[in-house]
Structure 1
Amino acid sequence: MTDTPRYSVSVAGIVVNGSGQVLAIRRRDNGHWEPPGGVLEMAETFEEGVRREVYEETGLSVQVDRLTGVYKNMQRGIVALVYRCTPLNEPIPATAEAAEVRWMTLHEVREAMSPAYAVRVTDALEAEVRTRSHDGVNLL
C-alpha cells in the first residue's frame, strides 16, 4: 500500500467593496501582491479560517458570502479554497503580515498579481465556482 499524499489546505477571501474594488495585500515575506489568506487551522471551519486570515492580514472583518473557486498548486501540494466576502469595516494600511493593504481595481489586480492569484479574483466576480491548477505562478 502506498502512503496517502499530504496536502496543505489554505483559504483566501476575495473582499469586494461597494465600488467593485478588491482588497489586496503586499506580503511582508516575499513582497508579492495577493488576496488575503493562509493555512487553514485544524479546529476551524473554512469560513472561520477565511474570517481569521482576512482579519489577521488586513484588520478587516468580513461576511463570508460564497465559495468561488478551488485551486491546486501542483508544485507544492497546496489546495486553496477561495471565498467572496463583503467588508464590514475598513482595513488598516499595514499589518505584521502585510507591508501594504489597499483596494484595487480589476485592472490593477491583473497588473500587480501573478496569474495564479489574479485569476482567483476574476473567478470570484463570476457566478459559477471554478476549479484550476497552477504551478505557483501560472495556470496549467
Structure 2
Amino acid sequence: MTEKPLRATVSLRGVLFAPSGDVLVVQRTTDEGWELPGGRLGAEEDATEGVQREIVEETGLAVDLGHPIHATAWRNDDDNGRFGVYYYGRVTERAVSLSHEHVEYEWLPPGRAEQRLSGPQGRAVNNAREVHEE
C-alpha cells in the first residue's frame, strides 16, 4: 500500500489525428507551453463526454473519439497532483477555432508533436501513433 496517496486533478485530453496523419497541439495562453486539447473533468461528468466537451470548447472540432490510450499520474512543477487520461481521436477537419485558453495551434507529424509536448503527453502521442498505424 502507498503510504501517502496522490490527491490529484483529473485531466482528459485527446490525441487528435487529421486525415493526413498529423496530430494537433495547442499553445496555452497562460505560459505559452504546448499541450494536447482537453481539460478538467466536471463533477459527475462522464469521462468521454467530458473530453469531447473540452475538445469542442477549445478547438471547435468534432472528434470521432476512440478508447483511452494512456493514463498516468504525476506531480507538476508546483507539486500539485495530476492524473491524466489520454484518448485516441480522429477528425475530418483541420480548421481550428481556438478558445481564449490558447493562442496558437499546429498540426505536426506525430514524432514532432511528441517532442513538443511534456513527458506524459508525449508518451500519449507515441501510444496513439501505434493505434493509428494499425
Q: TM-score range by the shorter chain?
A: 0.7 to 0.9
Higher deviation after alignment, 41-50 or 102-111: 102-111
Of Structure 1 and Structure 2, which has the larger fraction of its residues in helix?
A: 2
Task: Tell me, in whole angstroms, the C-alpha distance in 2 between the residues paired with 1:26 and 1:61.
Answer: 19
Q: Secondary structure at the match of 2:130?
A: coil
Deviations 1:42-74 (A, max 9, x none): 132111111111111111111211110101113
- Aligned equivalents of 1:3 and 1:105: distance in 2? 39
The aligned residue for residue 109 of structure 2 is 105
Cα deviation, 1:6-26, whole Å, max 9, x if unaligned, reads 321110000011111101101
Instruction: Give me the whole-angstrom Cα distance separating, in 2, the residues matched to 1:89 and 1:96.
Output: 20
> Deviation at 1:30?
1.3
When normalised by structure 1's length, the TM-score is: 0.79
Matches within 5 A, 1:21-32: 21-32=22-33
* Runs of at least 4 residues off by over 6 Å: none
What is the letter of the counterpart of residue 117 of structure 2? M
Q: TM-score, normalized by length of structure 2? A: 0.82
RMSD, aligned α-carbons: 2.1
Q: Which runs of 5+ in 1 are unaligned?
A: 128-140
| Contact 1:58–1:98, Cα closer than 8 Å, also in 2 | no
Q: Hey, what's the Cα distance between the residues in 2 that align with 1:72 and 1:85?
A: 21
Letter in 2 for 1:16: F
Give unpaired runs (5+ residues) of structure 2.
Answer: none
